[in-house]
Amino acid sequence: MIRKLSAALVLVAFIVAASVLAVSRLAPPAEAQLFKQAPGSRAEVALSFAPVVKKAAPAVVNVYAQRVERQPRNPIFDDPIFQRFFGQQPGAQTAQSLGSGVIVDPTGLVVTNHHVIEGMTSVKVALADRREFPAEIVLRDPRSDLAILRIKSDEKAFPVLEMGDSDALEVGDLTLAIGDPFGVGQTVTQGIVSALARTQIGINDYGFFIQTDAAINPGNSGGALIDMNGRLIGVNSAIFSQSGGSVGIGFAIPVNMVKNVVAAAKNGGKEVRRPWLGASLQNLTRELAESVGLDRPAGALVTEVDPRGPAAEGGLKQGDVIVAVDGQEAADAGGVGYRLGAKAIGGTASLSVRREGKSVVVPLALIAAPEKPARDQIRIKGESPFAGATVVNISPATIEEFSIPNAKEGVAVVDVADNTPAAVVGFKKGDIIMSVNGTKIAATRDLDRAAAQQPYVWRLTVNRGGQVITSVIGG
């Protein structure tokens, strides 16, 4: 009975809906007549994105990167009898990566994502016309997830994609994404700017992304997001997906961040130097916003000011809330970081600040973080729990470069090699080693000497993300 009743209700609903549809077709509302109309000419019928694609596509390339990994080889593999029965055994494996890139200088400079070439030693670039060239890695900037390649060729007139202004974008603007998804070949997809200033994505240190619904898939990383004038407005970097394919939520690094990285490479730099704030920031909660007189949680709360830095010199104080940089809104700590990170060294920026319910403007000198003391980078060797860890001295520069906590003492772990004692123990990038067996570690050389000892047990004190941990190894 229930099934028949349900079927009858569906039938009635269908009849009513069909009647309504018929009436609407006979007498369309005035609103529909205003917004729906047939093309008025052949030119309107032929409207296409093709002219924009033809302008931009030649400057978008495919990037192929690889690394040969040598594997430990058992001597028995070289025995003629073994080879007779089992054949020649491989002694190496090749790791490969596929992505996209954009030519930004006629001499052959290509911008791509750092994660496309991370750890790779050999890179090849394929142009849209199918010509292939070897390329060298001239600059790596993992903080922004960008890298610059240089095509090895005598040709000095490569097609170039003009760079636009990502700060001029608005939600709803049309976009095209060009890249090499899944290695099928150059592909163009169309969409709009879905959102701006997306932070807390977790892809790089400057979490400030253009969100688009133009289809972006694996292999698109490093490719171009362009506007309707054929200008580069972003470098496609990541997608939000549970299946691995596009679901209409893609993220691109704004071109205004790309410009700094390209400029550094053109000037012969091996790294990108960015302005130093000299202060620690925290995102606002609703409660914190109310406590400082804001009607919404927009801005970054200053939790600590380094007395040596430009923020202190300009008059920034603990408890201030930074709401804009040079008049451009900064909705959170990531926004402030991006606004400063996209600026060049030199000159002054203006921080719009809320302080005790009043608006204040704080000048900020755009200077690089000093490397005092010198980093004195060391990779620990031997058989201690630290073997395989690379450590540096803590300074404003290393804190900025490696995104390590703003610790007052100890040495910072900036890399941990796989299959080493340090990896087995569980050391992570960003750990601050403070003491070993009761001895204070103030510099990398202190840790190197401590690691050379052979105690019965190791007592370690480590600062991980602001939490001090003491552990004992051995015994």
Single out the residue of 385, 474, 470 nearest to residue 435, CA to CA.
Answer: 470
Residue 221 assigned ligand-binding role: yes
Catalytic choice (141, 145, 320, 446): 145
**Euclidean distance between CA atoms 422 and 88, whole angstroms:** 35
Q: Answer yes or no: are the C-beta atoms of 136 and 191 closer than 8 Å.
A: no
Amino acid found at 5? L
User: CA angle, corner 308, sides to 302 and 310, nearest 5?
Assistant: 60
Helix (H) or strand (E) holding 85: helix 80-86
DSSP string, 165-196: -GGG--TT-EEEEEE-GGGS--EEEEEEEEEE
145 annotated active-site = yes
Please tell me which residue in 221, 237, 246, 352 is annotated as part of the active site: 221
Per annotation, catalytic residue among 100, 114, 115, 431: 115
145 labelled binding-site residue: yes
Q: How would you write 12-62 as a 3-class SS string?
A: HHHHHHHHHHHHHHHCCCHHHHHHCCCCCCHHHHCCCCHHHHHHHHHHEEE
The full length of the chain comes to 475
> Is 237 labeled as catalytic in the residue annotation?
no
For the chain, the farthest-separated pair of C-alpha atoms sits apart, in whole angstroms, at 92
Handedness of CA 417, 420, 423, 427 (dihedral sign): negative
Angstrom distances, CA of residue 428 to CA of 386, 388, 391, 412, 423: 11, 11, 11, 10, 8
Q: Does 204 count as an annotated binding residue?
A: no
Binding site for substrate, by residue number, is 115, 145, 219-221
| Catalytic positions | 115, 145, 221
